[in-house]
């Protein structure tokens, strides 16, 4: 268990050299800024990253209880009885002040990471993302059912647009070819036959189109919406609750 003077020295060295710092100890945390908060004494994990961001974690939950984004200025000061560690952000003006009465662990690391991070989504994930945020297709779209059964097969998503028109979405996670267009056309024709007095739109949703597909779409009166599966994965990752398809009634 390091004493406060040693911890202060190690913290300052780590901050000056832009290292990642891991600190565990008993502390009080005060936040002053756009609002204010106080976290009474308890054992916490503090992570300072090389970009100047800081996170304060409790023993439970995924998200930090306090945090500041990259670019913080840090101030460290110790006495015989405590260590004060402050993270200051200039715009907007706010700070987190951490006062330790004991430190269990402290370490600094130089981490090298140039790897690329990619998110991937299946067609089901794309369905869920559109259900969660229909505006990624267009404003005013409302999804009313999924995997709707018609004679040619199953419609991925079935909805109504802002003008009351029926909308059929055919989703592909890869570059869409002519077979996807022809499948969508069959769904549209089937729905038009069932609802002869309703205007029906068919939209092919995919990250891109193969050569000649746009011409075929236009000739059949169908539409294309470009949608990256990565964007869908990001939407789902931000959702605090899972997207439950069962709440949408199949009809």
Would you identify the CATH topology of the domain 4-109?
A: Protein Yojf; Chain: A; (2.70.180)
Is the pLDDT confidence value at 149 over 70?
yes
Residue 136 has pLDDT above 80, yes or no: yes
Res 249: pLDDT:
43
Quote the pLDDT of residue 34. 83
Alpha carbon 195 to chain centroid, angstroms: 38
The Cα–Cα gap between 154 and 250 comes to 11
Q: What is the pLDDT of residues 48-86, one digit of tens each?
A: 999 999 999 999 988 899 999 999 999 999 999 999 999
**Residue 35 has what pLDDT?**
87
Q: What is the chain's mean pLDDT, rounded?
A: 91
Banded pLDDT at 119 (limits 50, 70, 90): low
Structure tokens at 38: 């106080």
Which structure tokens are listed for 62?
């995924």
Give the ranges where 152-212 is alpha helix by DSSP (H). Answer: 178-194
- Is there a contact between 59 and 132 (Cβ–Cβ < 8 Å)? no
CA-to-CA distance for 57 and 206, rounded, in angstroms?
40
Average pLDDT over residues 198-216: 95
Q: What pLDDT digit, counting tens, does each position of 179-200 carry?
A: 999 999 999 999 999 999 999 9
State the pLDDT confidence band at 251, using cuts at 50, 70 and 90. Answer: very low
Instruction: Indicate the burial class of 132 (C-beta count within 10 angstroms; 0-12, 13-18, 19 or more).
Output: middle
With a cut of 60, say whether residue 15 has pLDDT above it. yes
pTM here is 0.55
| Residue of higher predicted confidence among 86 and 230 | 86
> What separation in angstroms does the CA of 211 have from each of 148, 174, 175, 214?
29, 14, 10, 8
**Residue length of the chain:** 251
Q: Mean pLDDT over residues 10-30, rounded?
A: 97
- Within the chain, where are the H helices? 4-16, 123-132, 178-194, 213-219, 229-238
pLDDT tier for residue 250 given thresholds of 50, 70 and 90: very low
Backbone angles phi, psi at 219, to 5 degrees: -65, -25
Q: Take residue 170 and report the two structure tokens written for it.
A: 């055919």
The pLDDT score that the predictor gives to residue 187 is 95
Q: How far apart are CA 180 and CA 38, in angstroms?
A: 57
Residue 4 has pLDDT above 70, yes or no: yes
**CATH for 123-243, among 3.40.1350.10, 3.40.50.300, 2.40.50.1020, 3.10.180.10?**
3.40.1350.10
Q: What is the pLDDT of residue 117?
A: 67
How many Å apart are CA 2 and CA 186, to the nearest integer? 72
pLDDT at 223 over 80: yes
Domain ranges (residues) in the chain = 4-109, 123-243
Residue 49: Cβ within 10 Å count? 15
Tell me how far apart the alpha carbons of residues 152 and 49 are, in angstroms, rounded to a whole number. 54
């Amino acid at each position: 268990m390091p004493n406060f003077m040693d911890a202060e020295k190690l913290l300052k060295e780590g901050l000056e050299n832009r290292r990642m710092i891991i600190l565990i100890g008993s502390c009080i945390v005060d936040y002053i800024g756009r609002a204010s908060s106080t976290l009474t004494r308890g054992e916490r994990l503090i992570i300072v990253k090389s970009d100047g961001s800081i996170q304060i974690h409790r023993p439970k939950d995924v998200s930090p209880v306090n945090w500041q984004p990259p670019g913080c200025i840090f101030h460290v000061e110790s006495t015989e009885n405590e260590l004060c560690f402050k993270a200051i952000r200039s715009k907007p003006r706010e700070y987190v002040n951490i006062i330790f009465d004991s430190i269990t662990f402290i370490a600094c690391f130089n981490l090298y990471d140039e790897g690329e991070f990619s998110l991937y989504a299946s067609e089901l994930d794309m369905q869920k993302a559109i259900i969660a945020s229909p505006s990624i297709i267009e404003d005013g779209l409302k999804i009313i059912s999924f995997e709707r059964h018609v004679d040619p097969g199953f419609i991925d998503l079935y909805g109504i647009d802002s003008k009351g028109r029926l909308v059929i979405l055919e989703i592909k996670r890869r570059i869409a070819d002519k077979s996807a267009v022809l499948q969508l056309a069959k769904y549209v024709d089937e729905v038009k036959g069932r609802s002869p007095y309703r205007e029906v739109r068919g939209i092919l949703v995919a990250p891109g189109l193969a050569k000649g597909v746009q011409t075929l779409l236009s000739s059949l009166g169908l539409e294309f919406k470009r949608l990256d599966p990565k964007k869908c994965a990001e939407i789902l990752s931000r959702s605090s609750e899972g997207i439950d398809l069962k709440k949408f009634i199949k009809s």
